[in-house]
A and B are shown apart, each in its own frame.
Chain A
Amino acid sequence: MSSIGTGYDLSASTFSPDGRVFQVEYAMKAVENSSTAIAIRCKDGVVFGVEKLVLSKLYEEGSNKRIFNIDRHVGMAVAGLLADARSLSEVAREESSNFRMNYGHDIPLKHLSDRVAMYVHAYTLYSAVRPFGCSFILGSYDKDDGPQLYMVDPSGISYMKDMTCRELVKEVAKIIYIVHDEVKDKAFELELSWVGEVTNGRHVLVPKDVREEAEKFAKDSLEEEDDSDEDNM
């Protein structure tokens, strides 16, 4: 689907006659073209998984991370332009830090999500700047509010988005492996992180042994599906 802006798409401060801001829609395309990031909420935590495309064999393993730590209890997985995402992760970190300084406790996820979404939205109002070309998923876990998940897209809207964490890690790995298109993009590195009861409310990368187990599970289930029934593909 290609909608031609024809003159109404040159700046974010212009509406089209049918009420669209094309620059924001083009920004969302940057997200659509990026590789997959998912986050799933289970009853005792949240697991993040990113299909990190490896553009060159010269890159070290673990470089160009797409999962960020925002304060101790919040994780952020991104899709879209990585540079834009990095800048927004800094914004999110500052918001969390300022909140803690002003109010003495961890920032609630909804509030953080609203604040970052407001920031993203501000960049859709002026012609002097361009909208952020990334969407991101924020997740956290705390004993009172449990696991929570929010997503923010380039237009600046935030949405709320429900296995235990351990089982879920394997499923997330499997989804990423399934979604990865062997033909289009050759090599990828699976980035996994989690926050939940299993980590005492801290957002951390999944430990190496758990990740390897999850990757093995994912690869094995893909082979099973290949072997079992050709029609299912």
Chain B
Amino acid sequence: MERRCTGSEVKGVSTGTTILAAIYDGGVVIGSDSRASIGGEYVSSKTINKVIQVHDRIFCCMSGSLADAQAVTKAAKFQLSFHSVQMERPPLVIAAATIMKELCYKNKEDLQAGFITAGWDHRHGPQVYVVSLGGMLVSQPVTIGGSGSTYIYGYVDAKYKPNMSREECLQFATNALALAMGRDNVSGGVAHLAVISETGVEHVVVPGNKLPRFNHE
């Protein structure tokens, strides 16, 4: 977990963040909040995009140090596009996740970034992979990350069901982000979501005031 103290331990701009991805029947939903902060004290950007497209049907969510995460995703995007041209076909999601994992593991001393890679490929359909801080790679049907994720483990455990419909999964993801952003001070802004399936990618942006509300105060 990226619990960070203020002061010398912070590496510049950090994405105290909430990121998640979930598989539904026929595709995958990946999403994040949009707040970037410095030391948990100051919001340096209200509308940063943490969901990066690394290939036509493969997306990555960043968490941790923003600089490190951006550097890794840019390098991975380049390697993946080269690999895809060599293979003469779209890359597998596991290939994208392994590229990120190799970058994170080989440079673990210098990096402080974790990722969720999600996408669709012709061989295994929708998949979600987590690449954690030290470079561990694990495949899961649903996963959450970032500092805001601690507040929604209960919600995700209770509400996620395999083989949901697209609409159900989108609602689930939006609710989860809204709950996390409501409690985590370093997560907020808008909810960026991407719905990936065989037919294409749909971007959904839910502004802060349109997010579902749960507290009846």
**Bound CA span A92–B101, Å:** 24
How far is A53 from B153 in the complex, measured between Cα atoms in Å? 66
B98, A102: Cβ atoms under 8 Å?
Answer: yes
Verify A111–B98 contact, CB threshold 8 A: no
Q: Which residues of B contact A101 (CB under 8 A)?
A: 98, 102
B123 proximity list for chain A (CB < 8 A): 144
Which of chain B's residues have a CB closer than 8 A to the CB of A184? none
Partner of A144, one of B98, B102, B122: B122
A108-B87, A111-B86, A111-B87 as given contacts; A102 in contact with B102, CB under 8 Å: yes
Chain A contacts of B101 at CB under 8 A? 104
Chain B residues lying within 8 Å of A105, measured Cβ to Cβ, are 92, 94-95, 98
Contact A103 B99 (CB under 8 A): yes
User: Does B83 belong to the interface (CB within 8 Å)?
Assistant: yes
Q: Are B92 and A103 in contact (CB under 8 A)?
A: yes
Please determine whether A104 and B87 come into contact, CB atoms closer than 8 angstroms.
no
Q: How far is the CB of A189 from chain B (nearest CB, A)?
A: 38
* Number of B residues with CB within 8 Å of any CB on chain A: 16
A103-B86 in contact (CB<8A):
no
B97 interface contact, C-beta 8 A = yes
Q: Please name all residues of chain B whose beta carbon is closer than 8 Å to the beta carbon of A111 when the two chains form the complex.
A: 86-87
Contact residue among A103, A110, A144 (Cβ-Cβ distance under 8 Å from B95):
A103
Say whether, besides A144-B122, A144-B123, A104 and B86 are in contact (CB < 8 Å).
no
User: Which residues of chain A are near B91, meaning CB under 8 Å?
Assistant: 103
Inside 8 A of B137's CB, which chain A residues have their CB? 104
Q: In the complex, which residue of chain A has the Cβ closest to the Cβ of B92?
A: A105
A150 to B113, CA, bound (A): 42
Within 8 A of A (CB), among B82-124: 83, 86-88, 91-92, 94-95, 97-99, 101-102, 122-123
Bound together, the chains give a CA A150 to CA B177 distance in angstroms of 50
Task: Tell me the smallest distance from the CB of B60 to a CB of chain A, in Å.
Answer: 15
Closest to A115 in B: B86
Pair B122/A104 contact, Cβ less than 8 Å: no
A98 to chain B, nearest CB (A): 11
Of A101, A102, A108, A111, the most chain B CB neighbours within 10 A belong to A102
Q: Complex formed: what's the CA distance from A105 to B123 in Å?
A: 11
B122 engages A103 (CB within 8 Å): no
Q: How far is the CA of A36 from the CA of B86 in the complex (A)?
A: 32
Flag if A102 contacts B86 (CB, 8 Å): no
CB distance from A197 to the nearest CB of B (A): 17
Residues of A within 8 A of B86 (CB): 111, 114
Distance in Å from the Cβ of A23 to the closest Cβ of chain B? 29
- How far apart sit A55 and B138, CA to CA, in the bound complex (Å)? 52
B125 CB to nearest chain A CB (Å): 12
CB neighbours of B92 from chain A (8 A): 103-105
B 133-169 to A, binary, CB cutoff 8 A, 1 in contact else 0 = 0000100000000000000000000000000000000
B97: which A residues are within 8 A, CB to CB? 104
Complex: A102 Cα to B105 Cα, angstroms: 12
B106–chain A nearest beta-carbon distance, Å: 11
**A: which residues have CB within 8 A of B?**
101-105, 108, 110-111, 114, 144
Q: Which 10 A-B pairs have the closest CB atoms?
A: A104-B98, A103-B95, A104-B94, A103-B98, A105-B94, A144-B123, A105-B92, A104-B95, A111-B87, A108-B87
* 6 other A-B residue contacts (CB within 8 Å) besides A103-B98, A103-B99, A144-B123: A103-B94, A104-B92, A104-B94, A105-B95, A105-B98, A114-B86
12 pairs from A and B in contact (CB 8 Å cutoff) = A101-B98, A102-B102, A103-B83, A103-B94, A103-B98, A104-B92, A104-B94, A104-B97, A104-B98, A104-B101, A104-B137, A110-B88
